[in-house]
Structures are given as C-alpha cells and as structure tokens.
C-alpha cells in the first residue's frame, strides 16, 4: 500500500444530494480513483470517509463537484483530515438515522431520457413498464414518509424488489445501483383500468395503456393516477371531448393544460423559445405557457377560450410517456378534482368525487403522501415567471439560508395558500394548495402542516400569520399557536411580499436603499384599508411605505374582485359613462352605496380590471384573474410603437388612479384602439416604477405581488430598467403572487426590525 | 300620544326628579300598566315556582325605525325570544332606556307604543324599569336594555350537551331578512326594496313545539347578530362534532338574496330577529318541520343540515355545485379576501 494513502479524509456535502443518485455516483468515482472508504447519507447531506493521498482526494472532490448528478444541487461542502482509520474497500453505508434532519426534501423528477429509451426497447426489462425510474428520475417528495431518502422511508416500501431488481440495486455499474425507487413489472407498481362504476376492465399492464389510449381517441374522459395525483385527460384535438370535460367539471372557461408527446410535437404547434424548450424538457416538466401560433392544431377555443396562449407540458412520468406514445396526439391534462378542491390521489376518494366526470379510471397501487398539482411557468423574455409552484419545484428552498434560532411556521395567505416551515437551517416552502375557504383544501393544508411537524419531529415555536384576521390561514395559525403554546406575529401582506423578493435576491444585507414595488389585488393595510398599489423603501432593516396609488372606493366586498365593471365604476368621476354596464337596479344601488362607502383601496389589480372593463374586454370574470389575463392578451397583440405614458410630466408623489382610468375610458370612447390603450396602460405602470425610483434617487428596485405575473409588464420593466441602469429584482424560484407570502412572512420576521 | 309640555327629551328627564316623573306619569305607566309595575317600588316582587330562565340583552340599532319595526319591539322580542330558546314561557321584563338628549318625544312615544303591543303579543309584563338621559352626541337616540324571566316548560330539555350526531338542523324561516332591512335603510336603498325586518315574538311557536316534541328538541337558538354562520360555528367549537349545511336548502326571500348578491354580502353572516334554529332528533325532524310550517312563524321553515362526526368543530357549507366551503366566525366586518 502506498504511503500517501495513509491519510483519512472526511468530505461533507450538503444541498439537494439525497434521492438524486449521489451515493452511487460517489461510489463509482471512488472506484475510478481507487479510493477506499465509505459514503452515506446523513442528517446534513452526504458524508464520505476515505483513505487517500492529499493530491488524489483533492482531484476526487473536484470531480464530485464538477460532475455531480444532474439533479443534485450542492450548497456547501467541506473536507477535513481525520486520524487514520483503515478501509479495505469502498462501500455505501445505510443512512444514519435518529438524528435531527437538516437537508432539503428532494422534489419529484420527471422521467429521464435513458428511462424513456428503455420503455420503448422491446428487449428491455422495462419495456412498457409504467413506473420505470432510476437514480435520476421518478417520484421523491410525493412518496416521502420520513427522512433521509431511503426506500424504507417512502411508500415504495410496500413493494419488495425481485431478485433481478435487487441485483441492479446492488451492482455498482448498473444505472439503478442504489436506486431507491427501483422496481419492474414483476415486482413493482400495478395498473388497473376500471369503468366509473368500479368494474375492472383489465389488470394487464400493456392492455391498460392500450385501452386508455383508444378510449381517449374515442373521445372519452379518463382519470389517470399519475405519481403525484389524479389527472383528468381527454383528446385535446377533440373539441366535443374538451367541452364535455368542461361541463362535467363545472369549469366553463378556465384554461386547461395540454400534454404533448415530445418537444418535436410541441414545435409543430408552437414556436417555443430556447428558455421555454429547456423548461419543458427539464426534470421539473412543468406546464409552460406558450403563445399560440397559426399552426396550433388543437381545439384552442375550447381549451383556453379567448386566450391566445396554451399551457403545454411534456410527460412527467413513464406512465404518461407510454400513454402519449400510444395516443399519438396531444391530450388535455387537468388536475383531478372538483371545482376548487385539491388534487385527488386516493383511489376511493377519486372514484367518489370523479365518477360523474370521468368515464374510466386508470389506477395504480403506489400510495401518494404529498399530492401536488403540476407547476406552471411562463417566460417574460428570459425571465422565468413561476405562476404555480408545485410538482418538481416544491418544497425545497435552497438558495436562502435560514438563520432562525427556533423553529418557525409561516402560514401564508388565503387564496393561493402555501406555508413555510423552518425546523432547522433549511427552509421548506410547501407546494401550492389553493383557496383555503374550500374545506378540502383547508384539510389538505392542515394535514401537510401536521406531516411536516411529524417529518421533522419539530414543533414551531413561532407562528407567523397575515394581518388579515379573516384569512383561514390566520384563523388556523391562531388556533395552532394557542394549542402548542407558540408565539404568534401578524405581518402586513405587502410587506411580506416585499420581504419575499428581498429574501430571494439576498438583499437584506444591502447597504443601499431599495425601492419595493408591491402590486396585487387585495391585502389588508396597516390603516385597515385595502392595499394593493404600494411603494416601500427598505433600508437598514426597516421597511417604510413611501407612496401608493391614490385611494379609490372599494365597494361590494369580494364581489369587486370578480366584477371588473365595479372597479371601473368606482374609479370614474363621471359614472354615467358606464351606466350601460349595469341593470337599472344595480345602477341605483351602486350609485347610492358608493356615496356611503368608507372602505378605500390602492389596488393595482383592480386597476387592471377597470381597464379591461373600460375597453369592453371583460366586465364580469368567469374565473379568477380573467380580466387581467385578457387584458395582457390584448396588449400583447399591439404591434405598433405609438404607445403613451399617460403620466408623462406628472410629479409622482402619488399615482393618480382615477386620472389613468378616466383618460383610458375617454380616449377609447373617442375611438382609441383597444390594443394600443391596453399596451399604453401597462407601459404607464412600468414607467411609474422607473420614475419613482429616479425621483427618490434609488437605483435598486424589487417588485412582487400578483400583478407581476403579467409578463408584458415584466418585459417592459426589464427593458426600461436596463435603459436607465436601474437594478431590477423580481421573484425567482417563487411566484410573485400570494404563494410567496409564507416565505415573505418568514423573511420579514428574520430581518425586519421596524 | 298624550299632551305634553315638552316635545324633546332633555337631560332633566333622566335626573330622577320632577321631569322624570313627569315623563313617566304622562303616559308611560298608563301604556305599560300592570299590578306589579303600579307598585312603583324599587324593584318588582314576583312569585315564580319551578325552574326559571333569566336573560338580558341591550339594543342599539340605527336607525331606530326600520321597515317592519322599531327598536321598541326589537327590545321586547329579543329578550322574549332568548327566554323561549331556553324552553321557557316568558313572563316578566325589566325595561331600561338610555335616551339621547334631544330625542323627539313623538319618536319616543312611538317606541313605547311598539313596546306595549310587543308585550301584549308575547304575553309578558314590564314590571320594573329605568330611564337615563345622556348628553347629545353621547348616544344614538335610544338605547334599550331588557331583562326577562320565565318558567321553563316542564317538557323542555334544551342544552348544547344534548346535541347528538345525526341531529337535523331546522331553520324556521327566511334568513338574513332583518339585517338586510336595516342595511337597505342605511345604504339609502329603501326605495329599491320592500324588505321588512322579521322581528317578532317566537315564544308561542316554541312552546307549541315543545309541548309536542319535548325531549326530542335538543337545542333551540336564535341566530341574531353574526347570523347563522356565527351561531353554528360557536356551537361546533364548543362541542366535539361538526355541522354540515346545504346552500340549496337555505330559505331566502328573493329580494334579500339579490340584495346580498349585489352588495357582496354573505347572507350567512347577516343578523336575523324573528328566526330560530332547532337541533332535533332525526326521527322527528319531518313531523317537527310539518308542525312548524303550519305556524305563522314557520311557513318557510326548512331542514338545512345535520350534525356530523366527520369534521369536529367545523361548519361546512356544501354549495349548489358541490364545493365545500369552510364557515368561520368573522371577527368584525366582512373584509375582502379574494385577490
Ligand atoms: Fe398579494
Ligand atoms: Mg339575543
Ligand atoms: Zn431515469
Ligand atoms: Zn423487479
């Protein structure tokens, strides 16, 4: 034995390093370097102990860092000298357990290309096996019971590997070496196809896929249990089938997503940018919102009525991959649930709730611990806008380190609920749950909180809630705090949004003043009015309200958020201009109530609504944010360059909400073009940000809030900020909408000392 | 109204001296007269046997006159109904006024007359009372407090602990009527609607039901302030069961429904006055409903839900399209939550 290997080193690597094939990767590398020792998962990540020379171990480590498995994310690593211990071979050790867990929860990964190839090779063991996975792909978070990521800690534990699978698992050179989700058709997960009255049609795995494909082609609706929950599917080229699905799901207008079999198939219908292509093909496999083209051959008017865009994704699992290959045309895939309820994942419940929606059910016997919707992503040029953060993205938040002294639970908002749990130095931002006013969503949200407390064996000592005491999350937070004796702090909604974007961009330590531009629909302000068009400053750990959109009347409670015509009515001085949008009774009631009204708002969300109504685009929403989406759609179709900044020459002490709306309404009535006015409106808003930054001599801007889901606004803003050499910060891994509130609450609590 | 040498209430009317007596003598006593009141003692001395129910309530409503009633009958009916909810036959009331300086005597008189008729309808006597006057601006015309006592009906056995899984929940009539009547005046919509407050005394209706169904009536409660939602949630919170209610079964006047819709108000949280909820044994629910529907106060009665064990402490409203909504107690005014 050469002298120089008489050293023992310990290498520690943390980040997203479990459930991504890290140990087998290190193992094979160790063989290559002829290094002896061990590798194991532990409470902080991966630990390697080895005998090696100093030079060799350095090369070994840099090889690890440079060639890590594709889905691994390394946040920190260390190497130290240890007293000599002799190793005789290199081994993968089972995980150390019973310690406090301090690692990311690995998200689910879409099927990798290798596995895809194996599926279609007739001679391969995994030919047509619908649950083919490897160390690089497959469900992770969805099936997690416990830490660390070991088969015994997942619901895969219900399946005992056959001898061949076991061999693969044990063979260092096999690509399924140490693959925790390893299984095959003889030992693994079984499909079953039934009618909606639970009659079994077939249990033959290949027939299941063939039959589902032919049912889809015939125009039927199938509930397919994917590895993250049920999807409702039908032929996307069959208008009648799509409309039937709409009727049965009681979802008349809200867009559906479409699965394509491959990127090539997507390209036949759309012109995705390089960023969009990469996103579609990534391990996240989210829904990517693409611009429709002339060649788009699916039933677009039924899939996304009046919207010039389609949510597109590629198969996220072997099961969907096989179905897509067989169907040979794009299919609708929408979360398997009833109107507003959470995605279903349990066979009995799915049958009960979806029996009138689906004609057939494709079930399987893998239990899902954390059901998740598909994530949704859109691009504003190269900037990735997360619209819904769920499968493949949740729940890790690796980029921000938590420095909390004690465990914290942040409850988030109400309509787009998430929670953030910080049991240790890792930060977990849950998947999107939905509207907490829905009983099933609230139950799902509660259950997940309990699961996290159980998973980490840690109870929160501090609970953070929104200042709006009527959010179900606030009510639950209060209940929880008094039950477990935790401290509770309410945090203002828009300040939490601001803290989210500050946190995502590591700006809390900045010594320059930062302008926070927080625009959304509704949040309860410090003055008990409805905020939503806020400008803050952040400096020296303090957030202050700099200015805001001029207040206008908030009328008719939540109804104002669903009827853009009410926002327009409220904003116009000359209300008679919109009399035609109301019935006589409505008119006489609203004209009276507005004179007695006391609730006022600075909401920019409602300003978008008002413009949509002023331009006769949408007067009453049929689904959430419809007006904003349609308005963006309209503005995006403007191809000219005769747009105006309506506030050019204004002093920007406050943004004159009424003036903007009056101007647009009157110009439109005089014959102004919708598209041009819609574009000018968004341009005016973008310029307001630039002007306010300049007026206040601030060069760093941070924007958040639901309004920044608007990709046109974001695009204009990116361009204009660059022109003026202003530094623009946006939400990155999190959505700008209320999904980021829980994270923002935590960041606010950590860093703000108002 | 009697002839008076003053036409507004002044501070002196609450002094306890000459002016107070003048106010009372000049008609109040005549109007509300009965043996015990005529004693004009510091308090009323009354004979009550058996189990007694005792309740109190203060009434502040603006405006004091509204479609379908005024604060006077509200004050009598409110306490009468609270006693009825205990399964008691209301007998005696106390009546205390806090008047705002400057109140018109005619208005005061109209309230008094309403009190008199409400007492007659409910068959109760005002046996003791008080009048105070506060400076202008320190009150809102009239505040009234009433307390009442009555004998608990021997067949009544009412209490939260008697509620059982499976109990049916019955509402006696259209919901949200009183609150929307007040709202229509406050918002200046009186010409748009003819919504009338549902204020009335429920004691005869209740006693009739108790006589017929006695022990099978587990709980009676009147969903006044905070509406049906608040009452149900309160009950669910203090027990280990849950409540399911069905939107399509909630009886509502068309005008009330459309006013709520237009103003973005959730009728579940709107105040009721002449309305009560009954939790009854499932076995008698249908016959109970039938009897109630034949009563003048129960024409629109409906079974709206039941007591369940599936979601303890939770009240769930199943919507007409099948969604399940969480019903919470709203702290304060409804504020927008939708983004
Ligand atoms: Fe928000
Ligand atoms: Mg009462
Ligand atoms: Zn794979
Ligand atoms: Zn196998």
CATH number, domain of A441, equals: 3.30.420.360
Q: pLDDT (tens digit, 9 = 90+) per residue, B210-255?
A: 999 999 999 999 999 999 999 999 999 999 999 999 999 999 999 9
What's the mean pLDDT in A182-188?
Answer: 96
Residue A621 pLDDT greater than 60, yes or no: yes
Structure tokens belonging to residue A525? 């302000």
What's the mean pLDDT in A297-326?
Answer: 96
Q: Specify the DSSP class assigned to residue B338.
A: -
Q: Give the whole-angstrom CA distance, residue B118 versus residue B41.
A: 24
Q: pLDDT (tens digit, 9 = 90+) per residue, B263-311?
A: 999 999 999 999 999 999 999 999 999 999 999 999 999 999 999 999 9
Query: Would you call B323 and A589 a contact, using CB atoms and an 8 Å cutoff?
Result: no
Q: Which residues contact A231 (CB under 8 A, 6 or more apart)?
A: A223, A224, A333, A334, A335, A336
Q: How far is the CA of A184 from the centre of ligand 4 (A)?
A: 4
Length of chain A, please?
A: 754
Q: Give the whole-angstrom CA distance, residue B76 versus residue B114.
A: 9
What residues of B are in contact with residue A706 (Cβ under 8 Å)? 339
Nearest to B322 among A338, A415, A605 (CB): A338
Residue A538 pLDDT greater than 90, yes or no: yes
- Do A197 and A285 lie in one domain? The reply is yes
What residues of A are in contact with residue B338 (Cβ under 8 Å)? 415, 521-522, 558, 561-562, 624
Across all residues in chain A, what is the average pLDDT? 94
Sign of the C-alpha dihedral computed for residues A261, A263, A269 and A273 taken in this order: positive
- Give helix then strand counts, H and E, for chain B: 10, 13
pLDDT level of residue A754 (50, 70, 90 thresholds) = confident
B62 CB within 8 Å of a chain A CB: no
A126 alpha carbon, closest ligand: 4
Q: Which of A225, A302, A263 is nearest to A113 (CA)?
A: A263
Q: Give the whole-angstrom CA distance, residue A194 versus residue A181.
A: 26
Three-state DSSP class for A73? strand
- Residue A734 included in any domain: no
- Contact by Cβ (8 Å): A492, A543: no
Is A23 annotated in the active site?
A: yes
| In chain A, % of residues over pLDDT 90 | 89
Question: What pLDDT score does B336 carry?
Answer: 87
Q: How far is the CA of B339 from the centre of ligand 1 (A)?
A: 7
Q: Give the whole-angstrom CA distance, residue A105 versus residue A249.
A: 33
Q: Specify the DSSP class assigned to residue A285.
A: -
Question: What pLDDT score does B335 carry?
Answer: 85
Residue A496 pLDDT greater than 90, yes or no: yes
- For residues A137, A143, A147, A152, the Cα torsion angle rounded to the nearest 10 degrees is -90
Q: Which of B103, B96, B100 is nearest to B134 (CA)?
A: B100
Q: In what order do the strands lie in the sheet with A8-16?
A: A73-82, A8-16, A45-51, A36-42, A90-92
Could you tell me which CATH number the domain at B160-327 has? 3.90.650.10
- Residue A748 included in any domain: no
What residues of B are in contact with residue A252 (Cβ under 8 Å)? none
Residue A426 pLDDT greater than 90, yes or no: no
Q: Distance (Å) from the C-alpha of residue B320 to the closest C-alpha of chain A?
A: 11
Q: Give the whole-angstrom CA distance, residue A371 versus residue B127.
A: 65
Q: Which of A222, A219, A196 is nearest to A209 (CA)?
A: A222
Residue of A7, A28, A41, A389 marked catalytic: A41
Is A113 annotated in the active site?
A: no
End-to-end CA distance of chain B: 55
Q: Distance (Å) from the C-alpha of residue B244 to the closest C-alpha of chain A?
A: 11
CATH of the domain at A295: 3.90.870.30
- Do A84 and A115 lie in one domain? The reply is no
Q: How far is the CA of A161 from the centre of ligand 1 (A)?
A: 47
List the shell of residues around ion ligand 1, using CB closer than 5 Å: A 520, 738
Domain(s) labelled CATH 3.30.1330.10 in chain B stretch across 34-152
- Contact by Cβ (8 Å): B146, B83: no
Q: Could you tell me if residue A518 is left (phi over 0), alpha (psi between -120 and 50 degrees) or otherwise beta?
A: beta
Q: Which of A430, A423, A428, A458 is nearest to A446 (CA)?
A: A430
Question: What pLDDT score does A100 carry?
Answer: 66
Query: Would you call A439 and B311 a contact, using CB atoms and an 8 Å cutoff?
Result: yes
CA-based nearest residue in chain B for residue A530: B336
Q: Is the peptide bond before A146 cis (omega within 30 degrees of 0)?
A: no
Residue A145 pLDDT greater than 80, yes or no: yes
- Do A426 and A481 lie in one domain? The reply is yes
pLDDT level of residue A298 (50, 70, 90 thresholds) = very high
Query: Would you call B332 and A469 a contact, using CB atoms and an 8 Å cutoff?
Result: yes
Q: Specify the DSSP class assigned to residue A507.
A: -
Q: Give the whole-angstrom CA distance, residue B88 versus residue B159.
A: 13
Question: What pLDDT score does A456 carry?
Answer: 87
Name the pairing type of β-strands A36-42 and A90-92: parallel
What range does the domain containing A290 cover? 108-390
Nearest to A561 among B186, B334, B339 (CB): B339
Question: What does residue A446 show for φ and ψ, rounded to 5 degrees?
Answer: -60, -45
Query: DSSP secondary structure string, A533-556?
Result: EEEEEEETTEEEEEEEBPPEE--S
What residues of A are in contact with residue B335 (Cβ under 8 Å)? 468, 470, 524, 530, 557, 599
Q: Which of A43, A737, A33, A682 is nearest to A424 (CA)?
A: A43
Question: What pLDDT score does B75 carry?
Answer: 97
| Total of domains in chain A | 4
Question: What pLDDT score does A5 carry?
Answer: 62
- Residue A508 included in any domain: no
Residue ending a domain, among A693, A717, A735, is A693
Q: Give the whole-angstrom CA distance, residue A290 versus residue A640.
A: 22
- Do A362 and A472 lie in one domain? The reply is no
Task: Kindly tell me the burial class for residue B282, based on how many C-beta atoms sit within 10 Å of its own C-beta (0-12, 13-18, 19 or more).
Answer: middle
- Residue A435 included in any domain: yes
- Do A208 and A331 lie in one domain? The reply is yes
Question: What pLDDT score does A97 carry?
Answer: 60
What's the mean pLDDT in B56-70?
Answer: 94
Residue ending a domain, among A390, A418, A441, is A390
Q: B34-152 belongs to which CATH class?
A: alpha beta
Structure tokens belonging to residue A71? 């889905």
Neighbours of A477 (CB within 10 A): 28
Interface test with B, best of A593, A707, A736 (most B CBs within 10 A): A593
Q: Give the whole-angstrom CA distance, residue B93 versus residue B51.
A: 17
- Residue A150 included in any domain: yes
Q: How far is the CA of A602 from the centre of ligand 1 (A)?
A: 13
Predicted TM-score of the model (pTM): 0.94
pLDDT level of residue A1 (50, 70, 90 thresholds) = very low
Tokens 């949280």 sit at which residue? B269
- Do A422 and A370 lie in one domain? The reply is no
- Do A478 and A573 lie in one domain? The reply is no
Residue ending a domain, among A451, A468, A491, is A491
- Please state the ipTM of this predicted complex: 0.91
Q: pLDDT (tens digit, 9 = 90+) per residue, A312-351?
A: 999 999 999 999 999 999 999 999 998 889 999 999 999 9
pLDDT level of residue B191 (50, 70, 90 thresholds) = low
Nearest to A738 among B191, B264, B339 (CB): B339
Q: How far is the CA of A128 from the centre of ligand 4 (A)?
A: 13
A663 vs A551, A686, B245, CA distance in Å?
17, 17, 48
- Do A331 and A414 lie in one domain? The reply is no
Ordered alpha helix ranges (H), B123-160: none
- Contact by Cβ (8 Å): B335, A414: no
Interface test with A, best of B266, B316, B317, B336 (most A CBs within 10 A): B336
Question: What pLDDT score does A730 carry?
Answer: 98
What's the mean pLDDT in A356-361?
Answer: 97
What residues of A are in contact with residue B256 (Cβ under 8 Å)? none
Of A407-411, A436-440, B184-188, which gets the smallest average pLDDT?
A: B184-188
Name the pairing type of β-strands B125-134 and B142-152: unpaired
Give the helix/strand (H/E) hosting A348.
helix A347-354
Q: Give the whole-angstrom CA distance, residue A214 versus residue A200.
A: 16
- Contact by Cβ (8 Å): B256, B153: no
Three-state DSSP class for B159? coil
A603 alpha carbon, closest ligand: 1
What's the mean pLDDT in A94-105?
Answer: 69
Q: Is the peptide bond before B145 cis (omega within 30 degrees of 0)?
A: no
Question: What pLDDT score does A649 carry?
Answer: 92
Question: What does residue B53 show for φ and ψ, rounded to 5 degrees?
Answer: -105, 145
Q: How far is the CA of A143 from the centre of ligand 3 (A)?
A: 17
Nearest to A557 among B259, B325, B336 (CB): B336
Task: Kindly tell me the burial class for residue B326, based on how many C-beta atoms sit within 10 Å of its own C-beta (0-12, 13-18, 19 or more).
Answer: buried
Query: Would you call B322 and A593 a contact, using CB atoms and an 8 Å cutoff?
Result: no
A114 alpha carbon, closest ligand: 3
Nearest to A438 among B265, B321, B324 (CB): B324
Q: How far is the CA of A189 from the centre of ligand 4 (A)?
A: 10
Nearest to A560 among B186, B326, B336 (CB): B336
């Amino acid at each position: 034995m050469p002298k120089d290997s008489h050293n023992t080193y310990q290498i520690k690597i943390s980040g997203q390093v479990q459930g991504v094939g890290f140990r087998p990767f290190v193992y094979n590398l160790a063989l290559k370097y002829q290094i002896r020792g061990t590798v194991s998962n532990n409470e902080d990540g991966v630990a390697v102990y080895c005998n090696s020379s100093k030079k060799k171990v350095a090369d070994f480590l840099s090889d690890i860092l440079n060639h890590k498995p594709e889905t691994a994310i390394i946040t920190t690593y260390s190497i130290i000298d240890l007293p000599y211990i002799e190793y005789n071979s290199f081994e993968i050790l089972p995980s150390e357990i019973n310690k406090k867990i301090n690692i990311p929860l690995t998200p689910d990964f879409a099927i990798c290309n290798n596995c895809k190839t194996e599926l279609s090779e007739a001679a391969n063991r995994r030919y047509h096996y619908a649950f083919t996975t490897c160390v690089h792909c497959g469900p992770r978070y969805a099936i997690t019971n416990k830490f660390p990521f070991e088969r015994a800690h997942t619901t895969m534990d219900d399946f005992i590997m056959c001898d061949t699978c076991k061999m693969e698992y044990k063979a260092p050179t096999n690509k399924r070496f140490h693959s925790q989700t390893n299984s095959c058709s003889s030992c693994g997960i079984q499909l079953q196809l039934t009618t909606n009255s639970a009659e079994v049609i077939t249990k033959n795995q290949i027939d299941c896929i063939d039959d589902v494909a032919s049912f889809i082609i015939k125009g039927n609706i199938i509930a397919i249990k994917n590895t993250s929950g049920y999807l409702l599917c039908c032929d996307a080229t069959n208008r009648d089938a799509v409309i039937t699905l709409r009727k049965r799901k009681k979802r008349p207008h809200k867009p559906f997503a479409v699965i394509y079999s491959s990127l090539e198939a997507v390209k036949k219908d759309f012109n995705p940018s390089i960023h969009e292509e990469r996103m579609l093909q990534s391990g996240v496999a989210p829904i990517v919102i693409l611009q429709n083209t002339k060649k788009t051959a699916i039933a677009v008017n039924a899939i996304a009525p009046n919207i010039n865009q389609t949510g597109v994704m590629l198969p996220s699992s072997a099961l969907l991959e096989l179905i897509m290959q067989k169907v040979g045309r794009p299919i609708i895939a929408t979360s398997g649930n009833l109107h507003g309820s959470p995605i279903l994942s349990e066979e009995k419940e799915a049958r009960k709730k979806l029996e009138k929606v689906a004609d057939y059910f494709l079930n399987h016997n893998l239990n899902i611990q954390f059901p998740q919707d598909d994530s949704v992503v859109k691009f504003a040029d190269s900037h990735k806008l997360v619209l819904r953060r769920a499968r493949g993205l949740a729940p890790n938040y690796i980029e921000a380190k938590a420095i909390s002294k004690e465990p914290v639970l942040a409850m988030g908002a109400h309509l787009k609920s998430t929670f953030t749990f910080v049991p240790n130095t890792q930060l977990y931002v849950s998947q999107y749950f939905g509207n907490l006013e829905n009983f099933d969503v609230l139950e799902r949200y509660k259950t997940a909180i309990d699961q996290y407390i159980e998973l980490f064996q840690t109870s929160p000592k501090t609970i953070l809630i929104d200042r709006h005491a009527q959010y179900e999350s606030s009510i639950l937070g209060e209940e929880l705090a008094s039950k477990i004796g935790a401290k509770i702090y309410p945090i203002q909604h828009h300040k939490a949004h601001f803290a989210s974007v500050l946190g995502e961009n590591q700006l809390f330590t900045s010594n320059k003043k930062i302008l926070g531009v927080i625009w959304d629909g509704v949040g309860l302000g410090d003055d008990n009015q409805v905020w939503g068009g806020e400008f803050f400053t952040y400096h020296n750990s303090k957030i202050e309200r700099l200015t805001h959109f001029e207040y206008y009347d908030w009328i008719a409670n939540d109804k104002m958020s669903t009827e853009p015509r009410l926002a327009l009515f409220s904003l116009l001085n000359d209300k008679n201009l919109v009399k035609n949008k109301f019935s006589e009774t409505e008119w006489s009631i609203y004209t009276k109530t507005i004179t007695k009204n006391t609730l006022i708002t600075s909401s920019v969300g409602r300003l978008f609504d008002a413009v949509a109504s002023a331009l006769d685009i949408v007067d009453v929403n049929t689904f959430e944010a419809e007006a904003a989406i349609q308005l963006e759609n309209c503005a995006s179709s403007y191809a000219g360059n005769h747009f105006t900044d309506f506030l050019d020459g204004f002093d920007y002490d406050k943004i004159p909400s009424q003036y903007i709306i009056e101007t647009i309404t009157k110009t439109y009535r005089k014959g102004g073009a919708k598209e041009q006015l819609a574009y000018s409106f968004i341009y005016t808003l973008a310029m307001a940000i630039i002007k306010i930054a300049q007026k206040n001599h601030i060069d760093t801007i941070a924007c958040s809030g639901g309004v920044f889901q608007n990709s046109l606004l974001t695009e204009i803003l990116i361009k204009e900020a660059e022109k003026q050499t202003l530094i623009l910060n946006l939400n990155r891994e999190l959505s700008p909408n209320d999904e980021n509130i829980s994270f923002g609450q935590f960041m606010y609590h950590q860093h703000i000392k108002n | 109204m009697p002839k008076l040498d003053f036409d507004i209430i002044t501070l002196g009317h609450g002094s306890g001296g000459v002016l107070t007596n003048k106010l009372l003598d000049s008609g109040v006593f005549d109007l509300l007269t009965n043996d015990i009141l005529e004693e004009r003692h510091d308090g009323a001395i009354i004979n009550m046997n058996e189990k007694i129910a005792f309740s109190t309530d203060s009434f502040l409503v603006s405006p004091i006159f509204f479609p379908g009633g005024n604060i006077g009958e509200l004050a009598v009916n409110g306490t009468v109904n609270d006693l009825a909810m205990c399964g008691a036959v209301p007998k005696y009331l106390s009546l205390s006024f806090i008047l705002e300086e400057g109140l018109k005597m005619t208005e005061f008189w109209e309230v008094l007359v309403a009190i008199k008729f409400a007492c007659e309808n409910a068959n109760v006597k005002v046996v003791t009372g008080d009048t105070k006057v506060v400076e202008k601006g320190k009150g809102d015309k009239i505040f009234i407090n009433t307390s009442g006592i009555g004998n608990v009906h021997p067949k009544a056995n009412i209490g939260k602990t008697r509620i059982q899984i499976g109990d049916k929940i019955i509402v006696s009539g259209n919901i949200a009527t009183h609150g929307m009547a007040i709202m229509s005046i406050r918002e200046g919509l009186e010409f748009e609607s003819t919504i009338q407050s549902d204020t009335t005394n429920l004691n005869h209706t209740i006693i009739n039901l108790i006589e017929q169904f006695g022990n099978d009536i587990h709980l009676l409660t009147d969903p006044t302030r905070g509406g049906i939602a608040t009452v149900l949630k309160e009950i669910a919170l203090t027990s280990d069961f849950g409540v399911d209610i069905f939107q399509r079964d909630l009886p509502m006047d068309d005008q009330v429904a459309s006013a709520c819709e237009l103003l973005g108000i959730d009728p579940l949280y709107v105040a009721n006055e002449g309305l009560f909820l009954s939790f009854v044994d499932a076995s008698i629910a249908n016959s109970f409903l039938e009897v109630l529907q034949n009563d003048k106060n129960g024409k629109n009665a409906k079974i709206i839900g039941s007591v369940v064990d599936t979601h303890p402490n939770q009240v769930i409203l199943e919507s007409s399209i099948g969604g399940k909504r969480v019903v919470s107690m709203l702290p304060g005014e409804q504020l927008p939550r939708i983004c």
